[in-house]
Amino acid sequence: MHIVMVTPECAPVAKVGGLGDVAQGLSYELSIRGNLVELILPKYDCMRYDRIWGLTRVYERLMVPFHNQWIHCDVYFGFVDGLKCFFIEPRSPQNFFNRGVFYGQRDDPERYAFFCRAALEFMLKSNKHPDIIHCHDWQTGLVPLLLFEFYKHLGMTHPRVCYTLHNVGHQGLTGEHILRQVGLNPALFMRPDRAQDDYSPATVNLMKTGIVFSNFVTTVSPRYSHEIRSTGMGHGLQRVLNAHGAKFGGVLNGIDYNSWNAEIDPQIPFHYTADKLDDKYRNKEKLRDRLLLRQDFKPLVAVVGRLDRQKGVELVRHAMFYALSHGCQFVMLGNSPDPAINQEFWRLKHELNDHPDCHLELAYNEELSHLIYAGSDMIVIPSVYEPCGLTQMIGMKYGTVPIVRNTGGLADTVFDADHAPRPYHERNGFVFNDYNYQGLESAMNRAVHMWYQSPQYFRELAVNGMRTDYSWNRPASDYLNIYDLIREK
Ligand code: ADP
C-alpha cells in the first residue's frame, strides 16, 4: 500500500511528545513490511536538522491558495532514520514555521490550516495518489474535509483518510475565518454535523471536522476510546464520536524497539537484557554520577514527561516528597509550556538544589531521557488522563517498574503486582485508582516496600515488563487491517 502520513511531528527531528514517536515508529514498521510510506511535515526552523539525511529541495514554486492569495512554497525531501520525509516551507511574510518553537503561537490554527492545504496541494501537483492518507491530531483535521470538498474533484479520487486522535484535550478551536482562509464557505460547514463545535456555535472545531470527514478514526488505546465516548472524558466530543461510532476504534500505540531498547541503545553506557539485569544497575551508578546524586542502597524513582495539568503535576510534586521521605532517590526530567507550572518547579529545584537524593532537570533532553529510563528502578505516571502514554512502556522495556494511575492507555498496559486479575507472569507494575495523595501513596508505598523487603519479586516485575511485547508489531497489523477495510479496492 502507498501510505502518506500528514503529521505535525516526527521523532527525532520534530518531537514534542508521543505523537512524534508514533509517527516515526508506526511509519517505520509499515515500511519494513513492504508498504511505501511517506511523511509530510512542516519545515520548522527548530527541527533537528542534524538528524535529516540528504535534505534537498525537490519541488520549487508550489503555489498554495490561502486567504485570497497564493503562497509560494518550496518542498524539501530527506531521510529521517530511513523514512522518506517531505518538508513544506512556505515563503510568506507570516513565517508560519520559523518561530523557534513547534506550538504555542497565537496563530496555530492558521499555521496548520495552511499546512493541510499545502500538503494536499503538494500531493496533487506531484501526482501522488496514495491509498491512505493518515492524519494526526487537530493540526491535520482539515485534510479530509479539503480532500473531499476540493481535491477529490481535481483528480484525487483514490485516497481514503484514517485520522488518529492522540489527545482530545487539544481540539483546535478557532473562528469561522479559518474556513474562508482555506477556501471553504462557512455557511456550508458551520453546522452541528460538520465543522461547528458542539458547545459554541460560533467556533470551528478542527478535530471534530477531522472526525466527521475521515473514513476511519482511531485513538491510541482501547481504554481511552471507551473513556472519551462513554465516561464524560471526551472534552465535548462524545456526541460526534458516538454519531460516528461505527468507524471509530482504539489501537494501542507501540514503541519503536530500535530507538528504545536496553540491549542496543547507543545512548546508554551499559547494555543489558532481562537475563542480565545486573548490568542495569551500572547505568544507575552512571546516572547518579551524572546528576550528582549519592551512591547509596536506595531505589531511584523517576518522572519523565511534559509538565502539563494532564500529567498530574500536583501528584508529580507529591511523588517527589513522598519518595524523598520514604528512603528513595528522585529524578525528574520535564518541562512545561505553562509559565506558572515552570516557575513552581524551578522554585522546587532551587529549594532542593543541594539535596543528595534529588535532581530536577527542567528541560527537554532526549539523550538524558534514555539514561533515566535505564538507570531508574521505578517510573511514576500519575496522570489525570492519559490517551496512551509511552513512558510506562519505554520504562518497562528498560526494566523500570511503572507506578501509574488507572486511566487510558496506562490501564491497558500496566497490571498491578498485587491486584491485577492476571497471572503473575503478566503483572508488571503498580496501579492506583483515585486521583489524590492517598491513591498515589498506596501504590508508591507498595512499590517501595517490595523493593526493600522482597527484591526477588520486584525483579520479577521488572523482567515481566521487559518481556512483554509493546513493539509496533501488533498495532501496525491493526492499522493495516483498518487501511485495508477503508481503501478503494
Ligand atoms: P505526551 O505525548 O502526552 O507528551 P507520551 O507519554 O505519549 O506523552 O510521550 C512522551 C514522549 O516524550 C516520550 O518519548 C518521552 O520520553 C518524551 N519526553 C517527554 N518529556 C521529555 C523531556 N523533557 N525530555 C526528553 N524527552 C521527553
Sequence letter at residue 28:
Y
Q: Taking all residues of the chain, what is their mean pLDDT, rounded to a whole number?
A: 97
Per-residue model confidence as pLDDT tens digits over 356-367: 999 999 999 999
Predicted structure pTM score? 0.96
Ligand 1 center to residue 72 CA distance, Å?
34
Q: Does the pLDDT of residue 391 top 90, yes or no?
A: yes
Write down the H helix ranges in 87-176: 108-125, 142-149
CA 232 to chain centre: 22
401-405 β-sheet, strand order: 358-361, 329-333, 300-304, 378-381, 401-405, 430-432
Tell me the C-alpha to C-alpha distance, in Å, between residue 149 and each of 157, 184, 213, 284, 286: 11, 8, 10, 55, 56
- The DSSP annotation for 18-66 comes to HHHHHHHHHHHHHHHTT-EEEEEEE--TTS-GGGEEEEEEEEEEEEEEE
Mean local confidence (pLDDT), 453-481: 97
Tell me the C-alpha to C-alpha distance, in Å, between residue 258 and each of 21, 29, 48, 277: 12, 10, 19, 19
Which atom of ligand 1 lies closest to the CA of 260? 14
Integer Cα distance of 32 and 49 in angstroms: 24
- Report which protein residue has its CA nearest ligand 1's atom 17: 17
What per-residue confidence (pLDDT) applies to 354?
A: 93
CB-side neighbour CA atoms (13 Å) of 250: 17
What per-residue confidence (pLDDT) applies to 46?
A: 98
Ligand 1 center to residue 115 CA distance, Å?
24
Ligand 1 center to residue 17 CA distance, Å?
4
Q: DSSP 3-state assignment of 457?
A: helix
Per-residue model confidence as pLDDT tens digits over 89-132: 999 999 999 999 999 999 999 999 999 999 999 999 999 999 99
Which atom of ligand 1 lies closest to the CA of 167? 3
Integer Cα distance of 262 and 255 in angstroms: 13
What per-residue confidence (pLDDT) applies to 224?
A: 98
Integer Cα distance of 223 and 219 in angstroms: 10
Which atom of ligand 1 lies closest to the CA of 361? 23
- Report which protein residue has its CA nearest ligand 1's atom 9: 18
Grid cell digits, residue 425: 507472569
Ligand 1 center to residue 227 CA distance, Å?
22
Cβ burial, residue 430 (10 Å; 0-12/13-18/19+): buried
* Residue from 168, 308, 369 whose mutation best tests the ligand 1 pocket (most atoms within 8 A of CB): 369
| Residue 296: pLDDT band with limits 50, 70, 90 | very high
Q: Which residues line ligand 1 (CB under 6 A)?
A: 17-19, 21, 304-306, 333-335, 364-366, 369, 388-391
- Report which protein residue has its CA nearest ligand 1's atom 20: 305
Following CA atoms 407, 413, 417, 422 in sequence, which dihedral angle do they give, to the nearest 10 degrees? 110
Are the beta carbons of 393 and 456 closer than 8 angstroms? no
Neighbours of 357 (CB within 10 A): 19
Mean local confidence (pLDDT), 272-281: 96
Q: Does the pLDDT of residue 86 top 90, yes or no?
A: yes
- Report which protein residue has its CA nearest ligand 1's atom 2: 18
Could you write out the three-class secondary structure of 191-238?
A: CCCCCECCCCCCEEEHHHHHHHHCCEEEECCHHHHHHHHHCCCCCCCH
Are the beta carbons of 395 and 379 closer than 8 angstroms? yes
Q: Does the pLDDT of residue 406 top 90, yes or no?
A: yes
Are the beta carbons of 291 and 283 closer than 8 angstroms? no
Ligand 1 center to residue 325 CA distance, Å?
27
Ligand 1 center to residue 125 CA distance, Å?
36
Which atom of ligand 1 lies closest to the CA of 166? 2
Per-residue model confidence as pLDDT tens digits over 430-453: 999 999 999 999 999 999 999 999
Integer Cα distance of 281 and 245 in angstroms: 47
Integer Cα distance of 400 and 451 in angstroms: 12
Ligand 1 center to residue 90 CA distance, Å?
28
Which atom of ligand 1 lies closest to the CA of 311? 3
Write down the H helix ranges in 231-362: 238-243, 280-290, 313-325, 339-351
Q: Does the pLDDT of residue 337 top 90, yes or no?
A: no
Ligand 1 center to residue 333 CA distance, Å?
9
Mean local confidence (pLDDT), 200-214: 98
Mean local confidence (pLDDT), 346-374: 97
- 456 or 488, higher pLDDT: 456
Ligand 1 center to residue 16 CA distance, Å?
7
Ligand 1 center to residue 21 CA distance, Å?
9
Which atom of ligand 1 lies closest to the CA of 21? 14
Which atom of ligand 1 lies closest to the CA of 388? 7
Ligand 1 center to residue 217 CA distance, Å?
23
Which atom of ligand 1 lies closest to the CA of 334? 23
Mean local confidence (pLDDT), 464-488: 97
Ligand 1 center to residue 369 CA distance, Å?
9
Sequence letter at residue 301:
V
Which atom of ligand 1 lies closest to the CA of 220? 7
Q: DSSP 3-state assignment of 6?
A: strand
What per-residue confidence (pLDDT) applies to 489?
A: 82
Q: Does the pLDDT of residue 262 top 90, yes or no?
A: yes
Strands 300-304 and 36-42 come out as unpaired
Sign of CA dihedral 88, 89, 93, 99: positive
* Residue from 304, 379, 404, 413 whose mutation best tests the ligand 1 pocket (most atoms within 8 A of CB): 304
Mean local confidence (pLDDT), 172-196: 97
What per-residue confidence (pLDDT) applies to 219?
A: 98
Ligand 1 center to residue 257 CA distance, Å?
16
Residue 406's nearest CA partner among 436, 377, 390, 385 is 385
Integer Cα distance of 312 and 300 in angstroms: 20
Q: Does the pLDDT of residue 234 top 90, yes or no?
A: yes
Tell me the C-alpha to C-alpha distance, in Å, between residue 61 and each of 4, 70, 86, 96, 226: 21, 10, 15, 17, 45
Q: Does the pLDDT of residue 486 top 90, yes or no?
A: yes
Are the beta carbons of 64 and 73 closer than 8 angstroms? yes
Q: DSSP 3-state assignment of 403?
A: strand
